[in-house]
Amino acid sequence: MDVETHVDGQVCRHFQRAAELLAQRWMPQVIHAMKPGAKRYSDLKASIPNISDAVLSDRLRTLEAAQIVVRTVEPSTPVRVSYRLTPRGEELADVLDELKIWAERWAKRPISATA
């Protein structure tokens, strides 16, 4: 695996871009919601409480541009649109699963001011 490293402690530009993508509000939840498989917009909206239509639409466009999600249009009546993770997105969802495990483990432990 080709990984850019810096001896001076600087964050590589690839990590920076990934962190900025995931730092957008609701982004991890949108990715997580698609992990089980392709979803229609309404299914995604229902699985992410409190996300607005505008934000969900924006996140899906951003993920599509980053090749993390693919949008499929089925030419039927009515037209059916679904979203699914690409292999790149599936790998990212696995990373987010690890974050979820970490969050659950540390949520069960009291926060110490000395830690």
Rounded-to-integer distance, Cα 28 and Cα 111, Å: 24
For residue 42, what are the CA distances in angstroms to 51, 78, 83, 105? 12, 14, 11, 32
Domain 27-107 CATH (choose: 1.10.10.10, 2.60.40.3500, 3.40.50.80, 3.30.70.3270): 1.10.10.10
pLDDT, position 111: 72
Asked if residues 98 and 105 have their Cβ atoms less than 8 Å apart, the reply is: no
pLDDT, position 99: 93
* 0.85 surpassed by pTM: no
Local confidence pLDDT in tens for the 115 residues of the chain: 455 555 566 778 899 999 999 999 999 999 999 999 999 999 999 999 999 999 999 999 999 999 999 999 999 889 999 999 999 999 999 999 999 999 999 888 777 755 5
Neighbouring residues of 35: CB distance < 8 A, sequence distance ≥ 6: 85, 90, 93, 97
